[in-house]
Amino acid sequence: MSSTATIHTLDNGLTVIVEPMRDVRSAAFSFLLPAGSVHDPQGRNGTAAILSDLVLRGAGSLDSRQLTATLDNLGLQRSESVGVKHLGFSGATVADRLPQALAVYGDILRKPHLPADQFDAVREGLEMTLRAMQDEPRQRLMVELRRHCFPSPWGTPTYGQLEQLSDISSADVVDHYRQLVRPNGAILGVAGGVEPEDILPVIEEAFGGWEQVPETELVDGEYTPVIEHIAHDSTQTHIGIAFEAVPYRHEDYYTAWASVGVLSGGMSARLFTEVRERRGLCYSISAVLNSLPYHARVLAYAGTTAERAQETLDVTLAEMQRLAEGIEPGELERCQARAKSALIMEQESTISRAGSVARDWFHLGRVTTLDEVRGKIESLTVDTVLDYIHAHPARDFTVVTIGPESLEVSGGIS
Predicted pLDDT of residue 3: 59
pLDDT band of residue 411 (cuts 50, 70, 90) is: low
Residues of the chain with pLDDT > 90: what percent?
91
Report domain 227-403's class: alpha beta
Task: Give pLDDT tens digits for 227-262.
Answer: 999 999 999 999 999 999 999 999 999 999 999 999
Task: Give pLDDT tens digits for 118-149.
Answer: 999 999 999 999 999 999 999 999 999 999 99
6-207 and 227-403, same CATH topology: yes
Q: Check pLDDT > 70 for residue 333.
A: yes
Task: Give pLDDT tens digits for 20-65.
Answer: 998 899 999 999 999 999 999 999 999 999 999 999 999 999 999 9
pLDDT band of residue 406 (cuts 50, 70, 90) is: very high
Domain coordinates in residue numbering, the chain: 6-207, 227-403
| 3 state SS for the chain | CCCCCEEEECCCCCEEEEEECCCCCEEEEEEEECCCHHHCCCCCCCHHHHHHHHCCCCECCECHHHHHHHHHHCCCEEEEEECCCCEEEEEEEEHHHHHHHHHHHHHHHHCECCCHHHHHHHHHHHHHHHHHHHCCHHHHHHHHHHHHHCCCCCCCCCCCCHHHHCCCCHHHHHHHHHHHCCCCCCEEEEEECCCHHHHHHHHHHHHCCCCCCCCCCCCCCCCCCCEEEEECCCCEEEEEEEEECCCCCCCCHHHHHHHHHHHCCCCCCHHHHHHHHHCCCEEEEEEEEEECCCCEEEEEEEEEEHHHHHHHHHHHHHHHHHHHHCCCHHHHHHHHHHHHHHHHHHHCCHHHHHHHHHHHHHHHCCCCCHHHHHHHHHCCCHHHHHHHHHHCCCCCCEEEEEECCCCCCCCCCC
Which pTM was predicted? Answer: 0.94
Topology, domain 6-207: Cytochrome Bc1 Complex; Chain A, domain 1 (3.30.830)
Predicted pLDDT of residue 412: 44
Average pLDDT over residues 202-225: 93
